[in-house]
Structure 1
Amino acid sequence: MTDIATDRLHVSSWRLLLGNPVTVISAAVLLAVLVIAVAARWIAPYGVNDVDVPSALQGPSGAHWFGTDELGRDVFSRVLLAVQASMQVALVSVGFAAVVGVAVGVLAGYRGGWLDTVLMRVVDVVFAFPVLLLALAIVAILGPGVTTTMLAIGVVYTPIFARVARASTLSVRVEPYVAVSRTMGTGHAYVLARHVLPNITGPLIVQTSVSLAFAILSEAALSFLGLGIQPPQPSLGRMIFDSQGFVTMAWWMAVFPGVAIFVIVLAFNLLGDGLRDVLDPKQRTVVEARRGGGRDA
């Protein structure tokens, strides 16, 4: 593909992506979430563990935007720090899963043969376990905490990346330009870096966006069960757990952490859908045909 054709494809991709308002809004929401995650300790109006018993269970007000909990702690400040913790866990765990999973999947798909069979059977065994059940088992064995939560979520999502990378590698491996490069005596490392990896990034980017959404949910579930992020560090799942006894008298303790989880997960999923429309050739053709038909009408 020539440089001019590549540039035109990139421009078309950006136009298609920016032409979807849902995708743009989702990206803007996630950008705001990332800013909050980075600057949470500076923008939080109160300390996350500042106890003020006389102010306990106060509703949302000018002094406490999201109200206070049973110990008088500011819920808004705790939600900000909990979002920071959730994003940290999600990014690290999914990053780990992507690196390990892509390495296994590309190696299996590119080399084939007995190595492909062995690696993918191991991946299938891990993939057979329910995500939350396997994560619970890992955390129960290693002990609760931030590090083990990251490791557990990373391990359970590694097979997904391995399967996606292998499937994409199998389709790229049979392309003529790869065959020509290999017959010319080009090294395997060069073929992987120059031809295989750049052509499988599309599905991997989409999978990363979707996995980040489920990693947020997994972290919240583990923390809700008491096996994730441990007090006194706030977490969205733990805040919802602690609010169970106060739902009727202090609805804000559960609603605002729940809304934070909902918004972040929804934004990641919608962004993944938008990226799929651009990066998946089949979906891209369908979307362009629909838009072209709309303009013709």
Structure 2
Amino acid sequence: MENNENQEAPENAKKSSKASTSNDEKAPDSSDNTTQQKSKVSKAKKRKKPKDTTAPRHPLTGYVRYLNDRREAVRSANPSLSFAEITKMLANEWTNLPADKKQQYLDAAEQDRERYTREYNAYKQTEAYKLFQQQNEKKLKESKEEGKSNHPVVAPELEFGNFDIPIFTEEFLDHNKLRDTELRQLRKSNTDYEQQNAILQKHIENMRDAITKLESEITQQEKNNASLQKHLDHMRTTLTNGFSGVKLPGIKEVATQQNIDTYMTNLHSILLENSSHDANLLQTVRNIVGGLEFNG
């Protein structure tokens, strides 16, 4: 009996060894399959549309502009809230924001959208745009050909596997937080500068329109002044020719091209006095004026 038990023990040990060996061999296979599937998932996720770094900057909506303006203040006032909670709070603020204040952000967004449309239309005429389109079409074609040959099947549950979360030091976290704060401040400053540039650009366009309008009005006024000056010169010449032989009482000078303005002023003063001895002068003036033609 003891011999049988001793013989069975090595046999059981061998079986146990084979079983463990079998289990050890199966584990790497399962790991390899998981690794390959994760690799396929990673490759599938990486197949994103290429980003055109040379294209104009996309416009920001009014809501995003409001978030950029308010996020830092809300974060400072509520340091214990998460990013999602802060975003939810800002969304509620945007919903309840007065119409006049909300319109300011919407107007800025509309100006930014017009800016993007202008810049993108101009960008489509450049060689950089054509080169990017060619590269994009080439990558798309290669991606389709690769997809036809591989036909990867991605299980949805693999996208949410166990991930190793590294434990960062406090120094790294503080450094990362500082850099994140600086990045938000730079983004906010960039947004403010872009809004100011949009407003200044609008002022410049208005000033250019006003200058063009003033130049047109000045040109028209110069033409009118030239026409009036021509008519005035014609009237002076006509009056000088008509009254050159008429002497005014008490005045030795006769009407000339140089003194016609003073001459007509004196004549007007004499006629307003309505003296009896000026009856002949008044009749003479009537006859001369009646025969003059002032249309040049």
TM-score normalised by L of structure 2: 0.19
Name the structure, 1 or 2, with higher relative contact order (CA <8 Å, separation 6+).
1
Which one has a bigger Cα radius of gyration? 2
